[in-house]
Amino acid sequence: MAWETVIGLEIHAQLATKSKIFSAASTAYGAEANTQACEVDLGLPGVLPVLNQHAVRMAVKFGLAIDAEIAPYSIFARKNYFYPDLPKGYQISQFELPIVGIGHLDIDVDGESKRIGVTRAHLEEDAGKSLHEDFHGLTGIDLNRAGTPLLEIVSEPDMRSAKEAVAYMRKLHELVRYLGVCDGNMQEGSFRCDANVSVRPAGQTEFGTRAEIKNINSFKFVEKAINFEVERQIDVLESGGKVVQETRLYDANKDETRSMRSKEEANDYRYFPDPDLLPVHISDELKVEMQSEMPELPDAKKQRFMTQYDQDAESASILTSSRALADYYEAVVEQSGSEARLCSNWVSGDLLGALNKAGLDIEQSPVSAERLSGLLKRISDNTISGKIAKQVFDELWNSEASADDIIDAKGLKQITDSGAIEAIIDSIIANNPAQVEQYLGGKDKVFGFFVGQVMKETQGKANPGEVNKMLKEKLKR
* SS3 per residue for 229-253: HHHHHHHHHHCCCCCCCEEEEEECC
- State the distance between the two ends of the chain, measured CA to CA, in whole angstroms: 66
Amino acid at residue number 74: S
Nearest in space to 256 (alpha carbons), one of 225, 295, 233, 291: 225
According to CB under 6 A, which residues from 126 to 185 bind ligand ADP? 154-157
The DSSP code sequence of 108-150 is: EETTEEEEEEEEEEEEEE---EEE-SSSTTS-EEE-TTTT-EE
Q: What CA–CA distance (Å, rounded) separates 107 from 119?
A: 16
CB of 140: closest distance to ligand ADP in angstroms? 29
Residue 293 three-state SS:
coil
Of 212 and 330, nearer to ligand ADP (C-beta) is 212
CB of 194: closest distance to ligand ADP in angstroms? 7
Binding-residue pattern over the window 414 to 453 for ligand ADP, x denoting contact by CB under 6 A: ----------------------------------------
CB of 6: closest distance to ligand ADP in angstroms? 4
Measured from each CB, the residue nearest to ligand ADP is 8
Of 217 and 453, nearer to ligand ADP (C-beta) is 217
CB of 5: closest distance to ligand ADP in angstroms? 9
Nearest in space to 71 (alpha carbons), one of 277, 287, 332: 287
Choice from 12, 79, 177, 210 touching ligand ADP (CB under 6 A):
210
CB of 391: closest distance to ligand ADP in angstroms? 52
Of 115 and 341, nearer to ligand ADP (C-beta) is 115
Q: What CA–CA distance (Å, rounded) separates 66 from 104?
A: 5
CB of 269: closest distance to ligand ADP in angstroms? 9
Of 196 and 435, nearer to ligand ADP (C-beta) is 196
Choice from 94, 198, 414, 435 touching ligand ADP (CB under 6 A):
198
Of 241 and 349, nearer to ligand ADP (C-beta) is 241
Report how many helices (DSSP H) and strands (DSSP E) the chain contains, helices first. Answer: 17, 15
Q: What CA–CA distance (Å, rounded) separates 99 from 121?
A: 7
Q: What CA–CA distance (Å, rounded) separates 300 from 425?
A: 52
Of 54 and 114, nearer to ligand ADP (C-beta) is 114
Residue pair 302/344 in contact by the 8 Å Cβ criterion: no
Number of residues that bind ligand ADP (CB under 6 A): 15
Choice from 14, 27, 52, 196 touching ligand ADP (CB under 6 A):
196
According to CB under 6 A, which residues from 3 to 62 bind ligand ADP? 6-10
Q: Which long-range contacts (CB under 8 A, 24 or more apart) does 350-359 make?
A: 350/390, 350/393, 352/318, 352/325, 354/393, 354/397
CB of 254: closest distance to ligand ADP in angstroms? 23
CB of 44: closest distance to ligand ADP in angstroms? 30
Of 58 and 226, nearer to ligand ADP (C-beta) is 226
Q: Is 463 in the site for ligand ADP (CB under 6 A)?
A: no
Going by their DSSP bridges, the two strands 77-80 and 112-125 should be labelled as unpaired
Binding range to ligand ADP, per CB under 6 A, among 74-82, 179-187, 191-199, 430-438: 191-199
Nearest in space to 385 (alpha carbons), one of 455, 449, 473, 471: 455
Measured in residues, the chain has a length of 477
According to CB under 6 A, which residues from 327 to 356 bind ligand ADP? none
CB of 50: closest distance to ligand ADP in angstroms? 28
Going by their DSSP bridges, the two strands 140-142 and 211-216 should be labelled as unpaired
Using CB under 6 A, list all residues that contact ligand ADP. Answer: 6-10, 154-157, 196-198, 207-208, 210
